Amino acid sequence: MSRFMEAVNGVQIPQLGFGVYKIKQDKNGSFEKIIQEAIHAGYRHFDTARIYGNEEALGHAIGNSGIDRKDFFLTSKVWTTDLGYEQTIRAFEKSCKKLNTTYLDMYLIHFAGPHYIESWRALEDLYAEGKIRVIGVANFEIEHFEHVKKQAKVMPMINQIETHPAFQQQKLREYMARHHILHEAWGPLGQGNKSLFENDTLQTIARSHQKTVGQVVLRWHLNRDTIIIPKSSNPRRIKENMDLFDFDLSEEEMRQIAKLDTGKRNSVDPKGYQVNPIFVGLTKLFIK
């Protein structure tokens, strides 16, 4: 199995990446140590966002790695309070500056908030200028894609969405496949949901392969041609999450996991996502 997924424009995206959501820098340099562990384990695809507050720390860690920038695949996202054409251009430039790079491998609209169509036009222009290699979205539903389709010159190439065995996104996956939109999973391990790791089916499959439940879940994603960005601050788990290519799941095991879909999210429903004034105010306090 390939360790890359190919975007509609031919760009190769590492199928296994490293997410940095909620991993913060501190005075002891813990963030950089975690990134160093990830790089040493073999990760080259790193996923961040303006709202995470760690773009600068990630850029610093990568810059100090001794590895050429072109060997990394860097993703960031424009946050909802930066939507709009000019605002998105500025947000992109700020993210590049913090990440210490002149271009991004992938840039996404984080949510379909107000003015996301204007933001998509900005991404199209940045892509045409060669400043972004892959343009896409996160947390978009079919209705959002249909709205974009009416006005876009270039359709989103990828959608980063909540996906795990308890929430498999099958209908949206089928739509995305028809429109050549890659599927990227955030929260691929169910955000550490205890019930997922205690599931009898997953535990049985894990024992049969002498792997952990987490490894089985991540392998399930890979078998579905999904790009994944698991995160961990634990050096052992960072390595464990990379150790997915010496086993495979049978068709029967894939069918068993397919039956675990509850259709229930662990997070916000993008269909009803709106930015209220209080949330906007708080966001502006926390991101600079």
The residues annotated as belonging to the active site are 52
Of 194, 143, 135, 139, nearest in space to 162 by CA: 139
C-alpha–C-alpha distance, residues 217 and 195, integer Å: 13
Tell me how many degrees the CA angle 32-98-80 measures, rounded to the nearest 5. 110
Contact 239/268 with Cβ under 8 angstroms?
no
Cβ neighbour number for residue 246 with a 10 Å cutoff: 8
Take residue 21 and report the two structure tokens written for it.
Answer: 């959501």
- Alpha-carbon gap, residue 157 to 135, rounded angstroms: 6
Rounded Cα distance, 173 and 273, in Å = 20
Tokens of 143: 């209705």
- Conformational region of residue 142, where left means phi above 0, alpha means psi within -120 to 50, and beta covers everything else: alpha
- Please say whether the beta carbons of 68 and 40 come within 8 A: no
> Burial of 178 by CB count in 10 Å (0-12 exposed, 13-18 middle, 19+ buried)?
exposed
What secondary structure does DSSP assign to 209-265, as a single string?
HT--HHHHHHHHHHHTT-EE----S-HHHHHHTT--SS----HHHHHHHHTT-----
Helix axes 170-178, 142-149, angle to 10 degrees: 20
